[in-house]
Amino acid sequence: MKILLTGAAGFIGSHTAERLCAMGHQVIGVDNFSEYYDISLKKLNAEALTDAGITVMEMDLRTANLKEKLQSDFDIIFHFAAHPGISANSTFEDYFSNNILATQHLIEYAEGCSNKPFFVNIATSSIYGLEATFPEDVPPKPASWYGVTKLAAEQLVLAKSRENKIKATSLRLYSVYGPRERPDKLYTSLIDCALNDKPFPLFDGSEKHLRSFTYVQDIVDGIVSVIGKEDLCNGEIFNLGTEVENTTAQGIAAVEEILQKKIKTENKPPRAGDQSRTKANIDKARKLLNYNPKTTLMEGLEAQVLWFKENFM
């Protein structure tokens, strides 16, 4: 199959692109290489994709004329591109333009393609709100600009499915970690602080937060499982993540155990919109997609520590 993948130079997008290529698909990746975090890290991911035979194009979905820039014969679109996370340095315009406007432009492009590619929207557990422990049919209550705009993007995509304009599905991902994780995310930050003797910024109360920390390759398993099940997945939402919960404190302890080093912490005020608990309810994905994440937190973190040492030490 010929596949278009947005956000290809990002954390999860780059891993998915590699997996799809290894499965024998032709993958064209696009990324706007935003300055949300160090562009050199995205360039590093893009180089790995290029080495694997994947084409990566620099393109901003918000402004580019997609009909002129891209061919119209893709079989599937995997849409990862987004303004992620909860950041005090990001404006509402950042979230709106990257998550809603860019998605609408991509939908319009997909509608104009000759063979109407299957549209896989990559969403987030933040859509559920401060607690994300629910099945997919529970009304969402997002509590951050990120969650609100990702919900809007999801509904833009699924609206076209309901109108029978395109076939589409949306995948809500839970607390993904592993090699290439963004520097602002928990485990890359913890590893960096431990190895470089820096204080880790610990938001007040966050050590008790519960998370479905899910290894990136387990997430990719679920993402690629929709291929060949387009009719079954059309119009559906799926949670993807592990059912195993760990606190942030347990995550810190796991990194300390692997590195055999105590991590210093620096207390910070709590972040507005930060989730107190995520636990992936994957009954639907297990039943319809045969989804079964297996990687333990320690196994995944050992791989992430190795990646960090190989690339940044």
- Residues noted as catalytic: 146
Bridge partner residues of 240 (DSSP): 173
Distance CA 160, CA 139 (A): 20
* Phi then psi dihedrals of residue 115, to 5 deg: -110, 15
Q: Cβ neighbours of residue 261 under 8 Å, at least 6 residues apart?
A: 194, 195
Distance CA 256, CA 250 (A): 10
If DSSP codes are grouped into helix, strand and coil, which group holds residue 56? Answer: strand
85: DSSP letter = S
Q: Where is 50: in which H helix or E strand?
A: helix 39-51
Bridge partner residues of 123 (DSSP): 172
If DSSP codes are grouped into helix, strand and coil, which group holds residue 246? Answer: strand
Q: Crossing angle, helix 216-224 and helix 11-22, to 10 degrees? A: 60
Tokens of 41: 């890290």
Please name which of 231, 120, 107, 100 lies closest in space to residue 165, comparing C-alpha atoms. Answer: 107
Q: Where is 102: in which H helix or E strand?
A: helix 102-112
